[in-house]
Amino acid sequence: MNTIVLASSSKYRRQLLEKLGLDFLSCSSDIDESPQAGESPAALVSRLSMAKAEEVGKTHPNHLIIGSDQVAALDQDILGKPGGRDAAFQQLAKQSGRVVQFYTGICVLNSATGRRLSDLDVCSVYFKTLGSSQIQNYIDRDQPFDCAGSFKSEGLGIALFNRVVGEDPNALVGLPLIKLVGLLEKFGVNIL
Catalytic residues: 69
CB 65 within 8 A of CB 88: no
Alpha-carbon distance of 51 to 29, in angstroms, equals 9
Tell me the CA distances in angstroms from 77 to 24, 39, 184, one per residue in order. Answer: 34, 11, 32
Torsion of CA 54, 56, 60, 65, to 10 degrees: -70
Q: Rounded to 5 degrees, what are φ and ψ at 41?
A: -55, -40
Alpha-carbon distance of 179 to 147, in angstroms, equals 21
Torsion of CA 43, 48, 53, 57, to 10 degrees: 120
